Structure 1
Amino acid sequence: MNLLQRMFKKESLSNYMRDDKLLAKTLTAKDLIGLGVGAVIGTGIFILPGTVAATTAGPGIVFSFIIAAIICGMAAMAYAELSSAMPIAGSAYSYGNVIFGEVVGWVLGWALILEYLLAVAAVSTGWSAYFAHLINPIMKLPTAISGPFDPAKGTYINLVAVIIVLLISWMLSYGLNESKKIQNVMVLVKIAIIILFIVVGFFFIKSSNLHPFIPKRLNGAFGIQGVLAGASMVFFAFLGFDAVSTSAAEVKNPKRDMPIGIIGTLVIAAVLYALVSLVLTGMVPYQELNVGDPVAFALASVGQNWASLVVTIGALAGMFTMMVTMIYSGSRLVYSIGRDGLLPKKLGKIDMHSSQPKNALKLVTIIIAVLGGLVPLDRLTELVNMGTLLAFMFVSVGVIPLRRRTDMNHDGYRMPGYPVLPILSAAFSLFLMTQLRIDTLITSAIWFVLGLVLYLTYGIKHSKLNDK
């Protein structure tokens, strides 16, 4: 077997199923929706509808969210099919190993490691900022512990960001049975605050603010083109549902529950985003919404001055649930790669007392805490989109060879519109990758080159596939 053949050697689904059987099966469709909504709906719902309406789409932002949800839904259906047919840990990493071969699985895993770690680190710093705003009337955090390491500005560590990451990881270390209760409560708090805004705001809608619903083309924005441009801008608001698929090995009835969890997450998110957009642009003329906190601004503009507190609590709950899902998903991903020997095998061990991959969770926690506490992340967070879109593309294409496999019991959910929709989904993901900034593409290329070097010097030598 030459090097190229060895790199594309495929893992057996039955081997993965055997390795993952030690993971406790505790999750239901409701829990998966809690994880999914927790990841997808964060602070973006309080910001994006206003800013994109003001600059690009006007009240037509409602259509932008619906279009983005439909496009994202194609990838969601592909994930639902693969996770139903292959209820294993590791999401796109493991699917890539089984369907395309080890090197493709590694590249996808390497991309998702970047996605999960950077996403949580960035959100932890946002959580810290909102927390500081919440307690500001009572006390002000010392400058030295309120930002990344930057002695010139007097900041040395973002201590709150570190503490919230450690707290969530500690919670997850006790197992999903306890963690999911807290996660589900926080998701309900977040949704309750969003619904409260929708209900209260509904009574302050002025029909004149919604007319015309799609403003005329002006200065490169608005019109149908503005609605479509808005869809590409808000597409990333739906990212995060893919993290649900990392939990497939811990689901009680994956063939039924995985599709419900993934697609249900997207439907709930789409409805909430569209309703918030409609109410927001109905309360205030869209031209005035290009502010940092459009939801709070809209409520204050109609005399509802409790807005700041409510939005802050909603944002904190949103970011908390997102971090829970992503830290959990990141630990399962690292466990899966360690399970296969491509990273140190200790990372692929399951703690017998808690049925959790505690070594993987510890590593993920340390890296995220260091990034969130010490490193400025402003220019790196767009790499999250690159990793996600790459996974979307391969998962969408993966539906086609999956249907041709005869060695799997594929009697669960099937993506409709085969093979047209899988190809369209992959094509759209590829197109969005080409729209990312050039420096993002260059940084991503460097990351993938480092990943391939690590694979060729360590992973391929220690892989469990060498024993088969």
Structure 2
Amino acid sequence: MSNTQGMPPPTLRRAISLPLLVFYGLGVTIGAGIYVLVGATVAQAGVYAPVSFLVAAFVMLFSASSFGELSGRFPQSAGEAAYVEAAFRIPSLTVLTGALLLAAGTISAAAIAVGCAGYVALLVPLPLWMIIALTVLFSGFIAAWGIVESVRFSAVLTVIEVLGLVVVVIAGIWYQPDIIIALPTVFPQPSDTPALTSIGVASLLAFFAFIGFDGMVNVVEETENPARNMPMGIFITLVITTLLYFSVAAVAVLLLPLDDLGQSAAPISLLYKSLTGMSPTAITLIAIAATLNGVVIQAILSARIIYGMANVGRLPKGLAQLDARTRTPLLATGLVTVGTLAFALLFPINILAERTSQVVLVVFILINLALLRIKWRGDPAPDGILIVPAIIPVIGLVTCVAMLVGPIFIG
């Protein structure tokens, strides 16, 4: 029996240390973005694809800083919705923010699940739809298992996926030591308008590869010393992913034919095979681990968004109910799993990735506006949290708007 008489209801377990938080951030960030979408980025930006990842990281930096301060001011699940609520106190805007977050998390999980299934299909002779369904259902089970168990499972997969990318970079340098000298060629001339245009368009896809730190704030109630660990975890995650993405993309465009990269559904496997001459089975297994990890963590964060909104009365209270044994929101996790499965079976990965990026950019615009509003009012901040200058959310707002509407005008 759960919740016997006189016993308090279960609460979220504060058990995520800084290392586990970084693994969580890396796990939700690294995945389909680099293991699958690097090929699509190359198809749009060619040899300048690595710069697209730097542009996306630059846009992320300012919004990440805003999240760092807001997570200290309002350390609760459904962080983004809570930030908008505190800033504007407009219930409909809060609900809209939560809906956008759920859409982004669910669509993102679907995109990563499709990418995972693509790699699994190279090894398992099953229909693609069946592989997608099994991937999503298994991920939902892991997400419902328990937060410590889920994050530890994620941490193991994260180590594997990071090592896979490091191996590819080292293999590239070993295979062609002159690649370091050739690195400046991936940067266009400032006067090369077509190249800059292609980078701008490709950066929207590259932006998908960095989505993750926003999900980190949704486990703040389960993080040890969140005022210190959450901002540190966000910035460490952003630095590591930027270095990895740029390095992998640079090795890829400098050592492989761009047409082959742009047309490949499994570009990392193609790169590994070209560099080593070995069967790509090992790197395919790593890609499966990476993408499966992404689905699991997106399911965790989406369920926490539902839990957080229900807990403050913006969704039915039943969705905030925690299982007494796992101390996870089982009903919320189940709803997220069903939604993820529907999107994954209905849409291709590139459409899912672009829509995720667009929805997240809208959320980031609201978050930067929220921090500006709070600073403008002069709301006092708790002691010991990260405080950023007002110019940071201003730049975050401008860069997010530019990335959101830029491809529309360029197109």
Counterpart Cα distance in 2 of 1:184 and 1:190 = 10
Aligned equivalent of 1:398: 370
**AA matched with 2:237:** T
AA of the residue aligned to 1:409: P
CA contact (8 A) 2:105 2:301 kept: yes
Matches within 5 A, 1:314-463: 314-372=286-344, 374-376=345-347, 379=351, 381-403=353-375, 404-406=377-379, 408-415=381-388, 418-435=389-406
Kindly provide the CA deviation profile for residues 405-433 of structure 1, in whole angstroms up to 9, marking residues without a partner as x. Answer: 54652530122xx2222111112212222
Distance 1:389 1:329, change over 3 A: same
Give the partner amino acid of 1:89.
S
Q: Is the 8 A contact 1:331 1:357 kept in 2?
A: yes
Identity of aligned residues (%): 23
* Distance across 2 between alignment mates of 1:311 and 1:249: 35
Selected match of 2:255 from 275, 283, 286: 283
- Whole-angstrom CA distance in 1 between matches of 2:333 and 2:399: 33
Q: 1:5-48: CA deviations, max 9, x gaps?
A: xxxxxxxxxxxxxx999211111111221111111111332355
Q: Secondary structure at the match of 2:123?
A: helix
Q: What are the equivalent positions in structure 2 for 1:43-442 lying under 5 Å apart?
A: 43-49=32-38, 52-53=41-42, 55-56=44-45, 58=47, 60-101=48-89, 102-135=91-124, 140-141=125-126, 146-147=127-128, 158-205=129-176, 206-207=178-179, 210=183, 212-214=185-187, 221-222=194-195, 226-227=198-199, 230-284=202-256, 286=258, 289-292=261-264, 293-302=266-275, 304-306=277-279, 308-372=280-344, 374-376=345-347, 379=351, 381-403=353-375, 404-406=377-379, 408-415=381-388, 418-435=389-406
Change (3 A) 1:349 1:54: closer
List alignment gaps of at least 5 residues for structure 1.
Answer: 1-18, 148-157, 439-468
Match of 1:203, SS state, is: helix
Number of residue-to-residue matches in the alignment: 396
Residues 376 and 294 of structure 1, relative CA distance in 2, 3 Å threshold: closer
What is the rounded CA distance, in whole Å, between the counterparts of 1:174 and 1:55 in structure 2? Answer: 40
1:34 alignment counterpart: 23
Residue 196 of structure 1 and its aligned partner are, at CA, apart by 0.8
Instruction: After TM superposition, give the deviation of residue 212 of structure 1 in Å.
Output: 4.0
Amino acid at match of 1:305: M
- Cα displacement (A) at 1:168: 2.2
Q: Give, as a single letter, the amino acid of the residue that structure 2 aligns with 1:183.
A: S
AA aligned to 1:202 is I
**Is the CA contact 2:200–2:407 (under 8 Å) kept in the aligned structure 1?**
no
Structure-1 residue corresponding to 2:3? none
Alpha-carbon separation, structure 2, partners of 1:211 and 1:249 = 44
Deviation at 1:320, TM superposition (A): 1.2
- The code of the aligned residue for 2:238 comes to L
429-438 or 165-174, which moves further after superposition? 429-438
Distance 2:146 2:36 in 1: 33
Distance 1:310-1:162 versus aligned 2 partners, 3 A rule: same
How far apart in 2 are the matches of 1:285 and 1:217?
25
Shift, 1:219, TM fit:
10
Q: Structure 1 residue 226: deviation in Å? A: 4.9
Deviation at 1:129, TM superposition (A): 2.5
TM-score after normalising by structure 1: 0.76
What is the CA deviation profile of residues 438-458 of structure 1, one whole-angstrom value per residue up to 9, with x for unaligned ones? 9xxxxxxxxxxxxxxxxxxxx
Deviation at 1:210, TM superposition (A): 5.0
Max radius of gyration: which structure? 1
Partner of 2:12: 23
Contact 1:87/1:254, CA 8 A, preserved across alignment: yes
Structure 1 range deviating more: 334-343 or 286-295 = 286-295
Q: How many Å apart are 1:57 and its aligned residue?
A: 5.1
CA distance in 1, matches of 2:121, 2:329: 33
Structure 2: gaps of 5 or more residues: 1-7
Q: Sort the Cα spacing of 1:163 and 1:199 in 2 relative to 1 into closer, same or farther, 3 A.
A: same
The aligned amino acid for 2:32 is T
Distance 1:302 1:97, change over 3 A: closer
2:322 counterpart SS class = coil
Contact 1:209 1:284 in 2 (8 A): no
